[in-house]
Structure 1
Amino acid sequence: MASGSKRLVECVPNFSEGKRKEVIDAISTAIRDTEGCTLLLVEPEASANRTVYTFVGDPVSIVEGAVNAAKVAHSLIDMRKHKGNHPRMGALDVCPFIPVSDVTMEDCINCSNEFGSRLSKELNVPLYLYEYSCTGGDHRRTLPQIRAGEYEGLKDKIIKSEWTPDYGPAQFVPSWGATVTGARPMLIAYNVNLLGTKQQAHRIALDIREQGRGPDNPGKFKCVRAIGWDLEDKGLSQISINLTDYKTTPIHAAYEECVRIAKDLKLAVVGSEIVGLVPLEAVMLSADYYIQKESLFIYKEEQKIRLVIERLGLSSLSYFNPKEKIIEYCIGSTADGPLVSSSVRDFIESIGSRASTPGGGSASACIASIGSALATMVGLMSYGKREFEGIDGIMRETILPLYDAMEQLIPIIDSDSTAFSSYMDALKMPHSNDEESTKRSLAMQEGLKRAIEVPLGLMRKAHSCWPHLFVLAEHGNKQTMSDLQVSASSLHCGVFGGYCNVLINLKGVTDTQYVTEIRQEVEQILAESQDNSDKVQKLVLKRL
């Protein structure tokens, strides 16, 4: 990030301008030029006459970026001239703040209040707080509630006592309207494309959205808001959906239901689109759905993403680039650490240096990940060929958990080298009086427990591979049995390394119950790991 900070807030301001390139670019520049902010995505839509911007930054920078963008919009957008098919009430219609990493919802509430306070003072415009920032009562908690009546109805609405703005003047500002800001969880803005009319799209929207057609006739899905509109420049209509909790209603659930209803209406759905960014987890939920539904064998992340793009038709209007649309890829949170990214030579030579890290923990994680990788290779070498058709089903069930174990063990190579940092930070805390000494001691104990969690996680994950190695030893390609033997020895070596690291940190923990429970667990894992390694070797030898 531009600021180098790991504390990240996402801001997704929606401006009421989607046609004039010079205005869209000017707002982009204001965000991009704000120190500490990184502009990730700009998505103008001419029919809606609206542009959605997505940028991230630390809690201080993100507010500055939003204020800078709003100032530009204030000078260039006049709501008296605005027309578009998306509901709106202001030049900067809505400006949510969303926690991404190492920040809380409370941090984002503070961001929204700081933004509201500054904008009202600097531009003299009204602002409303919504979602988690709302303080005005349940009748004005959600965006649709506040935006009801839109810009055209704001003049009469804003003077009512129950609609007094949270910030700024309680009067209509014709050129601006009003802005809604607040803190909310990650929301997915999702549109399903329909070869039909606006009215038909809205009919489907009413069927799927939580509100439905009213209190007595709710829609099918929880945490879904939806309306129908035309995309005149594209020659189709859209069911415009906000998924406010993608775990409650995943993307694929909304899409499949739209397809089903459209089919009953003799209408065609022609793909869909995601506006803004989408969490990787949401894409993986849809991938798992289609993999299970169609009995597919797909285990690599990039292949799962491609499956979702194809099944949902996410590139039907414009190319869906995962690197630009999936938030973890945009902010680099899926990037490998420095050790994993280094060459084999550099990694080994760094272990062989005078530095204390990387050490035995990182080496153990590397060896264990190699063990699971070798087992994965044996599974793949025993799958997909005519001679192995009889065991295809067995291999499918075996390869996936081994591949997942490999993917989860690799990051531990880096995380082990930093696992002790919390304890070292605690050592530096002041301890000149009893209160400071108590805080320092508690922090040291928490630091030690965190340092234990990493090698303990290594042991648990490596240990989970054994049942699958047994299957490979009995059914796998005979030509790969030597690789399986190395795999078994590597996994056990990784377990032993994790065991040693747990014990050395456990010595400093004063919580006797915790010490007893952890010691019992790791000793059991180590003993079983040795037995399992021996068992694999014996099974292999019987087949050779």
Structure 2
Amino acid sequence: MKKKSITATMITKQSMLLCCKLYISESRNTEAMETVERAGGLDPETVIIKKFEDRDYNRVRYTLVSYVAHDTTGNAVYSPLQQTVIAMVEAAYESINLELHSGAHPRLGVVDHICFHPLSRASLDEAAWLAKLVATDIGNRLQVPVYLYEAAHPTGKALDTIRRELGYFRPNSMGQWVGWALPEILPHIPDVGPTQVSRDRGIAVIGASPWYVTYNVPLMSTDLSAARKIARLVSERGGGLPTVQSLGLVHGEQSTEVSCILLEPDRVGADRVQSQVEILAAQEGLDVEKGYFTDFSPEMIVETYRKLVSGGEGKHGLMKLSI
């Protein structure tokens, strides 16, 4: 598709937007991160709104935004996000080897997780359309097995279900995930791509969903079993708060952390999660710090994007937050 005129593109940029959260299993290798970010800055029509990196987890998330364009019948036909995400994915595969990776956060691949969200006037169907295009590129051209989830999956299969089937939540070395931990022939057939895994790349999980919130609560204790117990009791799966998923993880030499996903933040927000963690931690005799969000709100992301594209700043909008 030919690039639109500047005026038409600006109108689109201000209205129908898609967001991509791109999770890469690396944050300690500065050279690799620079390579990935250079690839993400090649197209000024896509903006990296925020970078969140955690050295203990050895994981980074980039939040990217761009517009989605439609044909005369209203069907989505183009988004600059596709090209930018694939460029960053290729750069990650070229500069990071999963066999050499270790970290306190679970992962299944160098490019571990890609999620697309609708923003502004865009729809979940459009986010799913883009997720499937990216999955096809990664699975068929880059030959990495891809599992689809939620709106991108034919039956809406949940992300945590796929991860549980693949052993995502089981560390293979004293609270750490080290190297490739699954058989080279996968136990479940991927939705896209080969069934055999390259150990240096691993697999990717790609989906589309309504907006979710990630919120982490530090525990002033190195007792990982206690952190896991609290995480389980906070989560819906463990009989705790509805629409909350959580993990107890090592986070540095002096602390652990309850890492949470709030699937419906308007229903169960961070305040309730914080309060529940504090109650459960007190029962274990543990101190708790105030939790933190790992990303902006959708409203702030849209506002930041509009300011950047209106000012012609494009790729220079990256904001960094390290833990």
Match of 1:193 in 2: 218
Match of 1:94 in 2: 113
For the pair 1:8 / 2:17, whether they are aligned, the reply is yes
For the pair 1:57 / 2:66, whether they are aligned, the reply is yes
* Long gaps (5+) in structure 2: 1-5, 69-78, 169-178, 308-323
Counterpart amino acid of residue 7 in structure 1 = M
Say if 1:53 and 1:276, in contact at 8 Å, map to a contact too. no
Say if 1:188 and 1:277, in contact at 8 Å, map to a contact too. no
For the pair 1:204 / 2:220, whether they are aligned, the reply is no
Counterpart amino acid of residue 178 in structure 1 = I
Q: Of 229, 232, 255, which residue of structure 1 is paired with 2:249?
A: 229
Q: Pairwise mapping of residues 358-437 of structure 1 onto structure 2 (< 5 A)?
A: none
Task: Quote the Cα distance in structure 2 between the aligned partners of 1:157 and 1:12.
Answer: 28
The superposition leaves residues 304-362 of structure 1 with CA deviations (integer Å, 9 ceiling, x where unpaired) of xxxxxxxxxxxxxxxxxxxxxx42442348xxxxxxxxxxxxxxxxxxxxxxxxxxxxx
Task: Quote the Cα distance in structure 2 between the aligned partners of 1:154 and 1:101.
Answer: 39
Match of 1:542 in 2: none
For the pair 1:178 / 2:203, whether they are aligned, the reply is yes
**Structure 1 pair 154–143 and aligned structure 2 pair: CA distance change class (3 A):** farther
Say if 2:184 and 2:196, in contact at 8 Å, map to a contact too. no
For the pair 1:277 / 2:296, whether they are aligned, the reply is yes
**Structure 1 pair 38–188 and aligned structure 2 pair: CA distance change class (3 A):** same
Aligned partner of residue 133 in structure 1, secondary structure: coil
Match of 2:161 in 1: 145
Aligned partner of residue 155 in structure 1, secondary structure: coil
Counterpart amino acid of residue 149 in structure 1 = G
Quote the offset at 1:43 in angstroms.
Answer: 1.2
Bigger fraction of residues in strand = 2
Task: Quote the Cα distance in structure 2 between the aligned partners of 1:175 and 1:34.
Answer: 28
Q: Pairwise mapping of residues 101-500 of structure 1 onto structure 2 (< 5 A)?
A: 101-135=120-154, 141-147=157-163, 148-150=166-168, 152-155=180-183, 158=186, 160=187, 163-196=188-221, 197-212=223-238, 219-232=239-252, 235-279=254-298, 326-332=300-306
Say if 1:52 and 1:276, in contact at 8 Å, map to a contact too. no
Task: Quote the Cα distance in structure 2 between the aligned partners of 1:240 and 1:65.
Answer: 28
Say if 2:120 and 2:302, in contact at 8 Å, map to a contact too. no
Compute the TM-score of the two structures, normalised by the length of structure 2. Answer: 0.80
Say if 1:74 and 1:176, in contact at 8 Å, map to a contact too. yes
Task: Quote the Cα distance in structure 1 between the aligned partners of 2:241 and 2:54.
Answer: 27
Match of 2:89 in 1: 70
Bigger fraction of residues in helix = 1
Task: Quote the Cα distance in structure 1 between the aligned partners of 2:298 and 2:124.
Answer: 17
Task: Quote the Cα distance in structure 2 between the aligned partners of 1:256 and 1:329.
Answer: 30
Match of 1:27 in 2: 36
Quote the offset at 1:156 in angstroms.
Answer: 5.7
Say if 1:37 and 1:57, in contact at 8 Å, map to a contact too. yes
Counterpart amino acid of residue 327 in structure 1 = I
Query: Which structure would you say has the larger Rg?
Result: 1
Counterpart amino acid of residue 212 in structure 2 = L
Say if 1:211 and 1:225, in contact at 8 Å, map to a contact too. yes
Quote the offset at 1:198 in angstroms.
Answer: 2.1
Q: Choose between structure 1 and 2 for higher RCO, CA contacts under 8 A separated by at least 6 residues.
A: 2
Quote the offset at 1:119 in angstroms.
Answer: 1.8
Match of 1:540 in 2: none
Quote the offset at 1:85 in angstroms.
Answer: 1.2
Quote the offset at 1:27 in angstroms.
Answer: 1.3
Q: How many pairs were matched up?
A: 275
Compute the TM-score of the two structures, normalised by the length of structure 1. Answer: 0.48
Task: Quote the Cα distance in structure 1 between the aligned partners of 2:28 and 2:295.
Answer: 18
Quote the offset at 1:182 in angstroms.
Answer: 1.1
Quote the offset at 1:72 in angstroms.
Answer: 0.2
Quote the offset at 1:152 in angstroms.
Answer: 4.2
Say if 1:187 and 1:246, in contact at 8 Å, map to a contact too. yes
The superposition leaves residues 361-382 of structure 1 with CA deviations (integer Å, 9 ceiling, x where unpaired) of xxxxxxxxxxxxxxxxxxxxxx
Counterpart amino acid of residue 140 in structure 2 = K
Counterpart amino acid of residue 162 in structure 2 = I
Task: Quote the Cα distance in structure 2 between the aligned partners of 1:33 and 1:177.
Answer: 26
Say if 1:10 and 1:55, in contact at 8 Å, map to a contact too. yes
Considering only aligned residues, what root-mean-square deviation do their CA atoms show, in Å?
2.1
The superposition leaves residues 49-106 of structure 1 with CA deviations (integer Å, 9 ceiling, x where unpaired) of 1001101002311111110110101101111111111111011000011000121111
Quote the offset at 1:239 in angstroms.
Answer: 0.4
Quote the offset at 1:120 in angstroms.
Answer: 2.2
Task: Quote the Cα distance in structure 1 between the aligned partners of 2:145 and 2:44.
Answer: 27
The superposition leaves residues 284-308 of structure 1 with CA deviations (integer Å, 9 ceiling, x where unpaired) of xxxxxxxxxxxxxxxxxxxxxxxxx
Counterpart amino acid of residue 52 in structure 1 = R
Task: Quote the Cα distance in structure 1 between the aligned partners of 2:162 and 2:104.
Answer: 18
Counterpart amino acid of residue 69 in structure 1 = M
Task: Quote the Cα distance in structure 2 between the aligned partners of 1:81 and 1:145.
Answer: 27
Task: Quote the Cα distance in structure 2 between the aligned partners of 1:134 and 1:70.
Answer: 21
Percent of aligned pairs sharing the same letter = 23
